[in-house]
Amino acid sequence: MLVVAGLVALAVLLAWPVPRALARVTSLRRAPRAALVLWQSTAVAAVLAALLAAPAALPALLGREVRLSQSWPTVTVAALLSAVVAVRLLLSGDRVGRNLRAARRRHRDLVDLLGTPGEGADRHMRVLEHTTPTAYCVPGVRRRVVLTQGTLDRLGPDELTAVLAHERAHLAARHDLVMEFFTVVHEAMPPWLRSEAALREVHLLIEVLADRAAVRRAGAVNTGRAIVAMAGGPKPVGAMAMADSTRVASARIQLLDADRIAGLPVGVVAATMYAASAVLVAVPLALYGLAIAELSLV
Amino acid sequence: MPSTPRNRLGDLERAVMEELWSTADAHPEGRTVREVHDSIGVERGLAYTTLMTVLDRMAKKDLVTRERDGRAWRYTPASTRAELTSESLHHTLGELAGDTRRSALLHFLDESTPEEIDELKAALAELEARRPDQRRA
């Protein structure tokens, strides 16, 4: 029963305090790939712990080592946790997946109708006749990179290279799937348990990762100039400014040459995060293994 | 892009909208399937019925509006190209709720407020100072 209680405690820890604490450790952004792996393993470990809690209670019950009269509170909590998490994840996965794909399909149809298509290697590109500098990609099998004329007018050739490298990095590395995974887990949680800060941090890490690709193609300064130029353009009427957007943008500029930031060497930070990720996923599996071992001993 | 039926249909809808937009001033009353077919269908070797189907679909998608004119329909664009472009950019920002919005389309930059641009410029100036080798001559 200790194992079951451990799994429940682990699920609660990984769902509530851990993401909130992790979102505050901004130095992890220096190694964005390792940080994303750490975030993913945190979410996977939380889900595993919750889903395995009920099955882990079975061996003890079957083995009759523990009286049900004593252990029913733990068993009830474990069963409820596993069942609720399983159902909520399935529902959220279905809803988020369908919404995302429908929104992308509608939007892609619109930009295909309105945009001037690129040629050759740029055949996935669409240029919209609009003065607001905007660049984004529509992920998926029929992917698109969308730019406005305002972007083309505003950016120099090297800055444009940086923007395109950034968007292509999103598409090539399927960052949309990473975001989709976190959105599904996020929405599967009840609203009072969700951490907006955690989701924002994951989003920022994805942007930092795509910025790295832009820096490799166009250099840090050109990428920084592109970010400033895109931020400074005219805005469409009624567009919602996100409160944290500029803080995010200036954090991105500061991270363009993250190698200069003082502290532990990036390699050490990254290696530590990879190791921590492996441990995180291993813990719920090990606990479940213990519960199974108990059964075979009886 | 391989020329799948879906892409060909997309190209055709695009061509039809171009035709309707470019003739909207000269023909505010709209254009019939026959006229659209004469302008863009013949050179592409398209059947009249193909264009009829495409325009019918586009009316159902609210891209075009239509009015009866005798036995034929007259089609007009539901909105100008500029309106539709604005709308689609606006949609990318506002249509979806926060969480889904962040994942549906991956933007180079989220919207930012003009007051805070100075902060960005300062960060860029620091970056340029650190990287004199990459400064533009």
Q: E strands of chain A, at which residues?
A: 116-117, 125-128, 135-138, 144-148
| Residue B42 forms part of a structural domain | yes
Mutation pick from A96, A114, A204 vs chain B, by most beta carbons of B within 10 Å, is: A114
Going by C-alpha positions, the residue among A112, A231, A222, A85 that lies closest to residue A164 is A222
Which helix or strand (DSSP H or E) is residue B69 part of?
strand B64-69
| Residue B87 forms part of a structural domain | yes
Residue A221: its chain B contacts at CB < 8 A?
127-128, 131, 134-135
**Average pLDDT rounded to a whole number, residues B81-93:** 79
**Which tokens hold the place of A124?**
């996935």
Q: Residue A163 contacts by C-beta under 8 Å, 6 or more apart in sequence?
A: A135, A147, A151, A155, A214, A226, A230, B108
**Which tokens hold the place of A81?**
């946790």
**Which tokens hold the place of A182?**
């976190």
| Residue B128 forms part of a structural domain | no
**What integer pLDDT is reported at residue A63 of this predicted model?**
66
- What gap in Å lies between CA A230 and CA A208, rounded to an integer? 16
Q: Mind listing the pLDDT tens digit for each residue in A71-92?
A: 788 889 999 999 999 999 999 9
Q: Mind listing the pLDDT tens digit for each residue in B7-40?
A: 677 889 999 999 999 999 999 999 999 999 999 9
Domain that holds residue B77: 1-105
- What gap in Å lies between CA A56 and CA A293, rounded to an integer? 10
| Residue B125 forms part of a structural domain | no
| Residue B50 forms part of a structural domain | yes
* Cβ separation B106–A206 shorter than 8 A: yes
**What integer pLDDT is reported at residue B21 of this predicted model?**
94
* Cβ separation B117–A246 shorter than 8 A: yes
pTM of the predicted model as reported, rounded to 2 decimal places = 0.89
DSSP assignments along A228-291, one per residue: HHHHTS---TTPPPPTTHHHHHHHHHHHTTGGGS-SS-HHHHHHHHHHHHHHHHHHHHHHHHHH
pLDDT band at B126 (very low <50, low <70, confident <90, very high): very high
pLDDT band at A238 (very low <50, low <70, confident <90, very high): very low
| Closest residue, chain B, to A101 (C-alpha) | B104
Q: What is the CATH number of the domain that holds B65?
A: 1.10.10.10
- What gap in Å lies between CA A11 and CA A42, rounded to an integer? 10
Residue B92: its chain A contacts at CB < 8 A?
107, 134, 136
| Residue B97 forms part of a structural domain | yes
**What integer pLDDT is reported at residue A64 of this predicted model?**
60
Mutation pick from A125, A131, A250 vs chain B, by most beta carbons of B within 10 Å, is: A250
Q: Reduced to 3 states, what is the DSSP secondary structure of residue A105?
A: helix
| Residue B56 forms part of a structural domain | yes
Residue B127 touches partner A, C-beta closer than 8 Å: yes
Among A108-122, A242-256, B56-70, the least confident range? A242-256
Q: Which residue has the higher pLDDT, A28 or A239?
A: A28
* Cβ separation B102–A183 shorter than 8 A: yes
Residue whose tokens read 């149809």? A109
* Cβ separation B63–A113 shorter than 8 A: yes
pLDDT band at A243 (very low <50, low <70, confident <90, very high): very low
- What gap in Å lies between CA B24 and CA B20, rounded to an integer? 6
Residue B135 touches partner A, C-beta closer than 8 Å: yes
Which helix or strand (DSSP H or E) is residue B75 part of?
strand B72-77
- What gap in Å lies between CA A78 and CA A4, rounded to an integer? 7
Percentage of chain B surpassing pLDDT 90? 53
Q: Are A36 and A205 in contact (CB under 8 A)?
A: yes
Whether B105 shows a pLDDT value over 90: the answer reads: no
Q: Average per-residue pLDDT in chain A? A: 89
**What integer pLDDT is reported at residue A247 of this predicted model?**
75
Mutation pick from B109, B124, B135 vs chain A, by most beta carbons of A within 10 Å, is: B109
Whether A287 shows a pLDDT value over 60: the answer reads: yes
**What integer pLDDT is reported at residue A72 of this predicted model?**
82
Q: Average per-residue pLDDT in chain B? A: 84
Q: Residue A226 contacts by C-beta under 8 Å, 6 or more apart in sequence?
A: A155, A159, A160, A162, A163, A166, A214, A218, B108
CA distance B105 to chain A (A): 5
**Which tokens hold the place of A79?**
């069963």
Domain count, chain B: 1
| Residue B137 forms part of a structural domain | no
Q: Reduced to 3 states, what is the DSSP secondary structure of residue A92?
A: helix
Q: Residue A228 contacts by C-beta under 8 Å, 6 or more apart in sequence?
A: A253, B117, B120, B121, B124
Angular region, A146: left φ>0, alpha ψ -120 to 50, beta rest:
beta
